Structure 1
């Protein structure tokens, strides 16, 4: 199965490429710069040069599933957040539909399914980010794709435990990026996650079992 990862050069994206390769998938990593391609190859993936803010049709062609794991980053302004986290995600969703690909997995954010005004009470800088994530998620939900929207809590570089907690809404806690990546990969072929969005943090339930209870 061919799986495209948008944001493959990011911290979670690189884990996705590595874990997809280890799980026997053909991993394709979308990157924006020529110098980023080598790292994707080293992780066992095939690099694809494309920009979410431009034409991504050639990147989606021939894929069986698409994972959006891109983000504008914490050092960019609101305009870039809009361009990448909302418009870039929607751009990739449209390309996925155009090629008849059914499976799309979105890495969103905890709180994106709630009221951004309320969620950003303690951190006003998060309001725009959550609003853009929310709008991208809502666009995806209106499609006929077999989507899964994963909304993790605070991302860490701690070793994964493969144990998580999922629900429509969970209390904000942290979760290792490794466990988020493994959850998104498990969702590719877990029908119980199709057409669903859920928040997730570290917990006591094995990933596969947790997804069957979503």
Structure 2
């Protein structure tokens, strides 16, 4: 049975064929939300079910503009897969996210959700040996915050721990702000759930927060994760 969260717009998912992106599409579909995806080929979207497909590249402003047209929200699960070239952190985690935010704002998109990472402010973190990936993610974050703090727009930036697979709502989650969590893991499905809930939960709007799992314990909802978050 399809659940509802009271969201009637169409959501563009960027990075939809990645592991986290696939979960975002699934959770949107679970709640009956219309989904559009930006993918490099129709074949890549074949496993995503009933979605509106736009073929294009995150390196192209024109392709992004076509993808965001008519959407009310964007959720980005973009992530680099190479140190150099088109799939590098600079091209994807920084410039790709920046282009996506710019074109979304131009098109009238009201909400932007972003998958980032814990430790993005720690330039000395070992992960930065991979093309400065954490620093690139932080630059992408900063741009989203700047653009989607204006003109009635909103954003939600989720910084998970090490990403793992598994069904959603199986763990109690710990949230924090200020990039103070250094260790831990987070299920991709729970990251997806939080970003989907952020479409309608005003407590999630204009927030950036870290999230990791605690003890295994079935959850009825993850809305509690937004309680007490500071805006900005």
Normalised to the residue count of structure 1, the TM-score between the two structures is: 0.90
Report the equivalent of 1:24. 32
Q: 1:167 to 1:126 in 2, by over 3 A?
A: farther
Q: What is the number of equivalent residue pairs in this alignment?
A: 206
Structure 2 contact 11–33 (Cα < 8 Å) conserved: yes
Distance 2:114 2:45 in 1: 22
CA distance in 1, matches of 2:98, 2:128: 24
Normalized per residue, the structure richer in helix is: 1
Cα distance in 1 for residues equivalent to 2:131 and 2:202: 32
Q: CA deviation at 1:57?
A: 0.0
Q: 1:181 aligns with which of 174, 177, 192?
A: 192
Contact 1:12 1:178 in 2 (8 A): yes
Partner of 1:134: 138
Length-normalised TM-score, structure 2: 0.83
CA distance in 2, matches of 1:37, 1:111: 31
Give how far 1:157 is off.
1.0
CA RMSD between the two structures: 1.7
CA distance in 1, matches of 2:131, 2:122: 9
Please say if residues 162 and 207 of structure 1, whose CA atoms lie closer than 8 Å, have aligned partners that are also in contact.
Answer: no
Of 58, 69, 79, 2:77 maps to 69
Kindly indicate whether the alpha-carbon contact (under 8 Å) linking 1:6 and 1:30 is maintained by their aligned counterparts in 2. Answer: yes
What is the correspondence of 1:74-85 to structure 2 with a 5 Å cutoff? 76-79=82-85, 80-85=88-93
Distance 2:40 2:67 in 1: 11
Q: What is the deviation of 1:62?
A: 0.4
Match of 2:54 among 48, 56, 69: 48
Q: Which moved more, 1:11-20 or 1:85-94?
A: 11-20
Which ranges of structure 1 fall in alignment gaps of 5 or more residues?
none
SS where residue 38 of structure 2 aligns? strand
> Alpha carbons of 1:124 and 1:130: their partners in 2 closer, same or farther (altered >3 Å)?
closer
Aligned-partner Cα distance in 2 for 1:189–1:157? 25
